[in-house]
């Protein structure tokens, strides 16, 4: 490549990838990838599940795909009226969840996350923003100052300029296998084994291909990573039939340690099932359970994989995650401190946490910010002697008070949740018509009260990634549900 030529538009927005294809079985053996492509794959781990559900529901080169029950959860959320949320911002937060590692992704050549980057807002009246106490700073739009005005002045904190550029070192090269397993580019045992496994003796049996990848292709790849065991082959050789025959791996069961007996963090729900044959019908639950389900959308994929100990049942996501944890930080990851730990266990974005979250995940915290008392508008995360501290507005709180981390959904309220996580406000009429549609007489209803703790919560989360029967899959041992399907 010529170093001095000005890159064309196509070069700026595409990444080229060299691929080795086995001729006999027409399969991608591996791709040789540089930083730009490996950054894209690793960025998948930072995307909140809600962002993933939103991105894969769009057309790209391949048709939209559904992710287990998450897609239904996301869609039913989009239809739920604003009155059911504690604030207007709550619904937006769930539909457009932020990425706690957005600063790493922003500079990437192919960043598919279309979520608006975090901005900082203060009141444009100087007297409001430089008070000794109680001046407000928001990282969401449409929040109010004490004076009643919107916090609408956009400001960049002085020492908050991020320099992160993706995840891996500039000159490192990698091999990416068909199942998205990433490994350093060494012609070693794994490549030789792969050749042997595919019956390849000499270079006559393979061909080299170069593919250009733009953002659209990255969305294709994200879709395939969720529904195929051979995403690179399906992606590069344009085999779409995988979308119809994907079967998640199910061999792994949770072994969860000492966490399940925390009474405080249990959510009580009512499961309605058929008395006659034990079929799962729906769950009746209050806002705490719905908050819990909606919080899935805010969880970064890598954080989910961490909680599931690397086994999500989506085999190539497990491979991608596992291979990342095996990469040498020092040799391959860009030099930021603790980057590998962050990628292995990304947190929710700031202010997206639930105070009563039953899952073992927390939100990234924001640094303290201060307003300069004489220069306006200057804010900084440096606490100079005379700087005035700013209160961070909680977008989930109707009064904007800071430091509460309550839920998204307004309570008290009751909801009906179907097996594929369709959430609707509870109404006797809708229950009756739902039962009519299923041809279930009222006399055949049986109600069971169960408690959802960490273990059940993780099971529901895991099932939501692959199953359209998330609740009955996750809870079947607990309530002896018989399943028609599996």
Residues at the interface with Zn ion (CB under 5 A): 123, 125, 128, 145, 147, 149
Closer residue to Zn ion (CB): 47 or 392: 392
User: Min. distance of Cβ 444 from Zn ion in angstroms?
Assistant: 59
| Residue 234 · residue 180 · CB < 8 Å | no
What is the rounded end-to-end Cα distance, in angstroms, of the chain?
54
User: Min. distance of Cβ 152 from Zn ion in angstroms?
Assistant: 10
User: Min. distance of Cβ 148 from Zn ion in angstroms?
Assistant: 7
Closer residue to Zn ion (CB): 64 or 398: 398
Closer residue to Zn ion (CB): 90 or 122: 122
Report the interhelical angle of 315-326 vs 35-44 (nearest 10°): 120
Closer residue to Zn ion (CB): 13 or 144: 144
The first and second tokens of residue 364, run together, are 């990234």
- Identify the three-state secondary structure at position 48: strand
Distance, CA of 69 to CA of 76 (rounded, Å): 11
What's the count of helices (H) and strands (E) in the chain, helices before strands?
A: 18, 16
Parallel/antiparallel/unpaired status of strands 414-417 and 423-425:
antiparallel
The first and second tokens of residue 218, run together, are 């990255």
Closer residue to Zn ion (CB): 56 or 123: 123
User: Min. distance of Cβ 137 from Zn ion in angstroms?
Assistant: 12
- Identify the three-state secondary structure at position 151: coil
Among the residues of 178-314, which ranges form H helices?
189-197, 215-227, 231-236, 287-295, 301-307
Distance, CA of 393 to CA of 379 (rounded, Å): 15
Cα-trace Rg, the chain: 25
User: Min. distance of Cβ 384 from Zn ion in angstroms?
Assistant: 22
| Residue 100 · residue 351 · CB < 8 Å | no
Closer residue to Zn ion (CB): 146 or 207: 146
Place of tokens 């609408």: 152
| Residue 285 · residue 417 · CB < 8 Å | yes
User: Min. distance of Cβ 374 from Zn ion in angstroms?
Assistant: 18
User: Min. distance of Cβ 309 from Zn ion in angstroms?
Assistant: 48
| Residue 37 · residue 243 · CB < 8 Å | no
User: Min. distance of Cβ 92 from Zn ion in angstroms?
Assistant: 22
Burial of 343-378, coded b for 16+ CB within 10 Å and e otherwise, reads: bbbbbbbbbbbbebbbbebebbeeeebbbbbeebbb
User: Min. distance of Cβ 149 from Zn ion in angstroms?
Assistant: 5
User: Min. distance of Cβ 396 from Zn ion in angstroms?
Assistant: 21
Closer residue to Zn ion (CB): 147 or 449: 147
| Residue 273 · residue 279 · CB < 8 Å | yes
């Amino acid at each position: 490549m010529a170093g001095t030529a000005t890159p064309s538009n196509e070069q700026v927005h595409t990444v080229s990838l060299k691929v080795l294809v086995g001729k006999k079985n027409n399969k991608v053996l591996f791709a040789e990838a540089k930083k730009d492509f490996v950054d894209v794959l690793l960025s998948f781990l930072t995307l909140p599940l809600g962002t993933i559900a939103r991105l894969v529901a769009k057309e790209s080169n391949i048709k939209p795909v559904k992710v287990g029950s998450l897609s239904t959860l996301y869609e039913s959320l989009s239809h739920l009226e604003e009155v059911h949320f504690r604030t207007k911002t709550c619904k937006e937060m769930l539909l457009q969840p932020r990425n706690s590692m957005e600063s790493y992704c922003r500079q990437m050549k192919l960043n598919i996350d279309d979520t608006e980057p975090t901005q900082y807002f203060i009141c444009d009246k100087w007297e409001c923003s430089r008070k000794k106490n109680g001046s407000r700073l928001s990282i969401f739009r449409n929040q109010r100052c004490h004076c009643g005005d919107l916090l609408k002045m956009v400001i960049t904190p002085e020492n908050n300029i991020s320099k992160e550029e993706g995840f891996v070192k500039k000159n490192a090269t990698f091999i990416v296998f068909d199942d998205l397993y990433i490994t350093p580019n060494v012609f070693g045992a794994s490549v030789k084994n792969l050749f042997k496994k595919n019956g390849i003796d000499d270079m006559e049996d393979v061909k080299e291909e170069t593919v250009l990848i733009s953002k659209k292709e990255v969305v294709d790849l994200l879709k395939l990573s969720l529904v195929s065991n051979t995403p690179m082959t399906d992606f590069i050789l344009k085999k779409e039939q995988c979308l119809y025959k994907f079967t998640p791996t199910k061999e792994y069961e949770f072994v969860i340690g000492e966490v399940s007996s925390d009474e405080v963090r249990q959510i009580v729900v009512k499961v309605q099932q058929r008395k006659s044959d034990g079929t799962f019908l729906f769950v009746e639950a209050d806002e705490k359970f719905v908050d819990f389900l909606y919080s899935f959308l805010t969880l970064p994929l890598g954080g989910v994989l961490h909680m599931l100990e690397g086994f999500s049942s989506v085999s190539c996501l497990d491979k991608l995650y596992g291979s990342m944890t095996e990469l040498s930080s020092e040799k391959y990851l860009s030099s930021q401190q603790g980057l590998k730990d962050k990628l292995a266990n990304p947190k929710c974005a700031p202010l997206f946490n639930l105070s009563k979250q039953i899952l073992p995940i927390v939100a990234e915290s924001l640094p303290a910010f201060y307003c300069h008392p004489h220069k306006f508008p200057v804010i900084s995360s440096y606490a100079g002697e005379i700087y005035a501290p700013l209160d961070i507005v909680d977008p989930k709180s109707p009064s904007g008070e800071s430091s509460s981390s309550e839920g998204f959904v307004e309570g008290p309220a009751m909801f009906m949740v179907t097996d594929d996580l369709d959430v609707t406000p509870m109404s006797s009429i809708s229950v009756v018509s739902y039962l009519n549609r299923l041809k279930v007489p009222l006399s055949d209803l049986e109600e069971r009260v169960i408690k959802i703790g960490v273990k059940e919560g993780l099971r529901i989360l895991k099932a939501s990634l692959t199953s359209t029967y998330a609740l009955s899959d996750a809870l079947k041992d607990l309530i002896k549900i018989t399943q028609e399907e599996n």
